[in-house]
Amino acid sequence: MTHHTFVEKKLHLRFKGSDRKTKNLIISRPKDKLKKDSANIAMESIIGANLFEKDGVQLYEGRRDAYYKTRRVDVFF
């Protein structure tokens, strides 16, 4: 195998849970250059669905922020 490099990008959506702790929803291979309005709409849809609860805690109750995290991977073997 030859040496090669690739870039891995993930979209991190951070929410506030009903316990006031930060909860993360991480999406692999997201769409590039997502607009702020699109992220807000998606996050509000997730919050409004009330689908995610654990031990009586609503995991996604409010929005905190959204960001891309990118890392470079060098495969050498």
Only one residue has tokens 């607009």, namely: 35
R_g over Cα of the chain:
16
For the entire predicted model, the pTM comes to 0.84
For the stretch 2-40, pLDDT in tens is 799 999 999 999 999 999 999 999 999 999 899 999 999
Q: Residue 1: its pLDDT value, please?
A: 63
For the stretch 38-64, pLDDT in tens is 999 999 999 999 999 999 999 999 999
- The DSSP call for residue 38 is H
Residues 6+ apart with CB under 8 A from 55: none
Q: Residue 6: its pLDDT value, please?
A: 94
- The DSSP call for residue 59 is S
